[in-house]
Structure 1
């Protein structure tokens, strides 16, 4: 009865209930973990609708790929001077520690919209499932499925305007981690040819601290990783988080022709990103050497994913220009 429900609502909580609501970790302004496994998302940027962007001339739309899982993508089609023009297809994976953010948030809608306009690409921004409600490998599986969907041109925009023979992958932070893992997976499962990959401040970690890493920050990142991926083997040395861990697939397994690795000089991930770049350059992977192989850019004086927070600053414009040049093959 309503009276009973009211009584239950007023009943004192048990010690077990109170214990479940104990905060075990907090990333200020981002998220809070509770002992129960619950997450409180503190970072909630506005959600922007798809549609026409007058400033850039880019048109966007949302497409549901799997109604059961909720997997969807947001497509971005830049203004075409000639309707018959075929654009390369860029699949983008957003960041957010696998825990927050989305393809339709203002953060990523604005960035991918600007990238599609600047590079003249048909972009596919993946709205993968988030942990802890959907622990990893859900995000990896969704991203893989979205790549396969894009490559098969199962949408009219891609069929009419996309050149699926020219596929690129890009992602920032956790999304950069996804790019690496998708490229590794492509060496073990049938996959479309990927011409280029762009890793923007990719999130990698490890149990052994690197020179230049802040130990406390690295420990926090390891905790966040294990919260997102409770089945991680070896904690932060799980090969999906630490590509250089013992037993991880070698870099020669990366399935793309060209790669651009980007870092911020003041980023807490800078040491890991430098180590990743070094591991690729010294491995048997050479990509298409005649077209650049693997390239590196480090943004002086800038922190983690600064280009999302201040896209109009000089370094962000410099980074965007470098990404556009890489896509163009320059």
Structure 2
């Protein structure tokens, strides 16, 4: 046997391979790209910032063109997708998406670069996102540190939104529950959108595969076991299965408005629909917008097929939610 060949520990194809020496091959990441002083397509400016040195959390922040000439604008704190174990706030597809969203909504956007599993297993990613949101909210306090001038100068903190896609939507959900129970330095989250949220559970619903052995081989299950091997309850941990019996009440979501969007061809669609109806029945006091269910579209199409007319329409829908 070639001594230079690394021994495989586990793999979830076509996404990731993990080797016994602890190294990881991420197979589907889009290229990392630098921030831009003025994006040629949208005119949006971006830069990379350090949120925390210990733990190491960074972010990419986006400023729409001419925002300095208008009253203060809303802020979107965003959590990228990628199964908690790949993609980046600094990647090409995420940057393309954030530029378009910042322009369409005329908002400042800050996309948090949380640490990835399996090197940093969950719940580390949840903690990083919460710390990032707390740091952002600290800019609202008079006499606070105000490390980032784009936040303290241009943002109306009465119009703070959070959002995410796929695993990022799951992260946003967990953050909303935490904000509802712990508060956020006196800042209220006005709204949140969860796009194609990564939720799952052991009991099949809707059109999901019924065979338990086949379900365990699905990437959605295998990734969760990879990124959170110590999760209490496994696949029915309330972080992944928010409607599981005994989980936190969705009435505690800490925002005033909520938009859920799913895609007809997405394996995760029925989970998003179930979540929408569970929020509706929970007694949550906020405004739940009409469920967005896009025909003929698959998971994260608005990012992966970002040039399509369908993607443009969804981005516009999300942008119009932020007011």
TM-score, with length taken from structure 1: 0.88
Aligned to 1:223: 222
CA contact under 8 A between 2:68 and 2:154: conserved in structure 1?
Answer: no
Aligned to 2:31: 46
Aligned to 2:142: none
- Supply the distance in 2 between the matched residues of 1:212 and 1:254 (Cα, whole angstroms): 27
Cα offsets for 1:153-205 (capped at 9, x unmatched): 23101111011121000100000001100011112213131001010101001
Say if 2:182 is the partner of 1:189: yes
- Supply the distance in 2 between the matched residues of 1:173 and 1:235 (Cα, whole angstroms): 19
Say if 2:315 is the partner of 1:316: no
Unaligned runs of 5+ in 2: 140-145
Say if 2:95 is the partner of 1:96: no
- Supply the distance in 2 between the matched residues of 1:36 and 1:210 (Cα, whole angstroms): 38
Give the count of matched residue pairs.
309
3-state SS of 1:186 partner: helix
2:48 corresponds to which of 27, 45, 62: 62
Say if 2:153 is the partner of 1:160: yes
Unaligned runs of 5+ in 1: 1-10
CA contact under 8 A between 2:200 and 2:271: conserved in structure 1?
Answer: yes
Shift of residue 318, structure 1, vs aligned partner: 1.6
- Supply the distance in 2 between the matched residues of 1:305 and 1:97 (Cα, whole angstroms): 12
Shift of residue 12, structure 1, vs aligned partner: 6.6
- Supply the distance in 2 between the matched residues of 1:260 and 1:188 (Cα, whole angstroms): 20
Q: CA RMSD in A?
A: 2.0
TM-score, with length taken from structure 2: 0.90
- Supply the distance in 1 between the matched residues of 2:319 and 2:70 (Cα, whole angstroms): 22
Aligned to 1:300: 295
Shift of residue 151, structure 1, vs aligned partner: 1.4
Say if 2:95 is the partner of 1:109: yes
1:200 corresponds to which of 184, 195, 201: 195
- Supply the distance in 2 between the matched residues of 1:255 and 1:135 (Cα, whole angstroms): 25
3-state SS of 1:196 partner: strand
C-alpha spacing 1:223/1:26, structure 2 compared with 1 (3 Å): closer
Cα offsets for 1:17-75 (capped at 9, x unmatched): 98x823533322x2124466653211231111112212211100111111233200111
C-alpha spacing 1:239/1:307, structure 2 compared with 1 (3 Å): same
Shift of residue 148, structure 1, vs aligned partner: 1.1
- Supply the distance in 1 between the matched residues of 2:10 and 2:68 (Cα, whole angstroms): 55
C-alpha spacing 1:195/1:218, structure 2 compared with 1 (3 Å): farther
3-state SS of 2:180 partner: coil
